[in-house]
Amino acid sequence: MHVLIIGAGLGGLSLAQSLQKQGVSFEIFERDADENARFQGWAIALHSIIDKLSSSFPSDMPDLRASTNHLAPLKLPAQIAMYLPGRKDRLGFQDSPQMPIIRAERRRLRDWLATNIPVQWGRRVTRIEHDNDGVSVYFKDGSSAKGDILVGADGIKSVVREHILHRPSTDLLKVVPLATIVGQLTLSGEAFKRQLSLGHSGYMCIRPDLGFVSFVGLHYVLPDGLSGRYYWNFMQTDPDVSNPDHWLQKASQQEKLDYTLKSITKMPPKLREIFEMTPVDEIKPESYVWCDLELESLPAGRVLLVGDAAHAMTPFRGEGGYHTLIDTLILSKILGELDTGGKFKDVAAVQQAVAGYNDEMLRRGGQAVRDSRNLHANAARVGPDGKPLVVEMMSLPDVEIVLGAEA
């Protein structure tokens, strides 16, 4: 069996690793010219599937935690805190032996996932043909490839999805009524320590009483351990956000910063500090309109989807990448079984296996899309087996923060 994977993001690369481990033949195609062509995002929390990823991937992969931890070289455990109205204590989630959490810097995670994977860069898919016997894919550069199965891991604006559903992304993606302003900055010394003590990896302020939700996240610690690169998202429910005349579409960086600062005046000083320290030229000039995607069904055949191509969601609950990885862990086992004994040649066997995968993936992904859209911070999370995860918020301990590479 030969599998064609479209897209070398989290989903495509994770699937490639699991197929590599099982000795299933594959090729992986990516539209970007090289691995540095695009900003990969800030940081992502991995939990519940850490052991499963390691056991599903080849054993010569470097250690996941050491390769991707955004807090390195600091020794602090990953920790996300929640600041809620009327609560004085620091609640949240923390890496522990009982509940391991890795907060991975996105570029490091992508590089780790790409270990020993021969990504074919600069191969943008423009057209797909498939029938009962196989799949052909055509690229913008005029080249093509053939396989038995094609997996679209090509993200929210998937061309593979367009091919199987005959509907453009503009028909399927739903605007999320959430206006967002994004800032970034580098902090050092005492200011860096104060942010780490609010939440080592980041913290969320959920303030319906003040009309906003914000997330402050550590992107990564600089190699000397003395400074950290931060980002923040300031979000407000706003049904008008995609209107071309919405003020954020044309607002200057200064206007966005001023608006954010005005909106947070009733917050305690320690929670305002990072916004107040942000230089105006570090406010993202582009406007953010989040879209999500919930599909009721997908045809079962030789072309299928993983990740954002099937269930894109807002980053509010930090679940999009998590469910993408779960998709690939489940799908790789199904593909491994089809490969064994040549069952992949029988289109009925392929359809049956893919139908089972689609049902579970769309149900699990759809729930996460809805919980993310509705800003449900406390909704249950599900594990790779589809069962609810026990991830209760704890009261976070205060520890002394020491900076430096040897700290």
Ligand X SMILES: Cc1cc2nc3c(=O)[nH]c(=O)nc-3n(C[C@H](O)[C@H](O)[C@H](O)COP(=O)(O)OP(=O)(O)OC[C@H]3O[C@@H](n4cnc5c(N)ncnc54)[C@H](O)[C@@H]3O)c2cc1C
State which of residues 24, 27, 28, 30 lies at the interface with ligand X (CB under 6 A): 30
Minimum gap (Å) between residue 263 Cβ and ligand X: 20
Does residue 218 bind ligand X (CB under 6 A)? no
* Residue among 318 and 384 whose Cβ is closer to ligand X: 318
Q: Contacts with ligand X in 160-189 (CB under 6 A)?
A: none
Minimum gap (Å) between residue 152 Cβ and ligand X: 9
State which of residues 92, 134, 155, 199 lies at the interface with ligand X (CB under 6 A): 155
Residue showing the smallest CB distance to ligand X in the complex: 9
* Residue among 180 and 195 whose Cβ is closer to ligand X: 180
State which of residues 149, 153, 179, 205 lies at the interface with ligand X (CB under 6 A): 153
Q: Contacts with ligand X in 323-342 (CB under 6 A)?
A: 324
Q: Contacts with ligand X in 117-136 (CB under 6 A)?
A: 124-125
Minimum gap (Å) between residue 118 Cβ and ligand X: 15
* Residue among 42 and 192 whose Cβ is closer to ligand X: 42
Which residue(s) pair with 205 in the sheet? 83, 214
* Residue among 275 and 316 whose Cβ is closer to ligand X: 316
Q: Provide the token pair at 255.
A: 């206007």
Instruction: Tell me the C-alpha distance between 240 and 283, whole Å.
Output: 21
Region from 6-14, 19-27, 61-69, 259-267 binding ligand X, contact rule CB under 6 A: 6-14
State which of residues 2, 21, 22, 32 lies at the interface with ligand X (CB under 6 A): 32
* Residue among 302 and 381 whose Cβ is closer to ligand X: 381
State which of residues 8, 196, 264, 293 lies at the interface with ligand X (CB under 6 A): 8
Does residue 7 bind ligand X (CB under 6 A)? yes
Does residue 70 bind ligand X (CB under 6 A)? no
State which of residues 183, 202, 301, 318 lies at the interface with ligand X (CB under 6 A): 318
Minimum gap (Å) between residue 37 Cβ and ligand X: 8
Does residue 52 bind ligand X (CB under 6 A)? no
Minimum gap (Å) between residue 94 Cβ and ligand X: 16
Instruction: Tell me the C-alpha distance between 143 and 140, whole Å.
Output: 7
* Sequence-distant (≥ 6) Cβ neighbours of residue 306 within 8 angstroms: 11, 12, 15, 151, 152, 153, 324, 327, 328, 331, 361
State which of residues 21, 35, 41, 282 lies at the interface with ligand X (CB under 6 A): 41
Does residue 235 bind ligand X (CB under 6 A)? no
Q: Provide the token pair at 198.
A: 């609010």
Binding mask 280-309 vs ligand X (x if CB under 6 A, - otherwise)?
---------------------------xxx
Q: Are 302 and 160 in contact (CB under 8 A)?
A: no
Q: Provide the token pair at 17.
A: 């690793």
Q: Provide the token pair at 237.
A: 């429910």
- Chain residues binding ligand X by CB under 6 A are 6-12, 29-32, 41, 44-45, 124-125, 153-155, 159, 307-309, 315, 318-322, 324
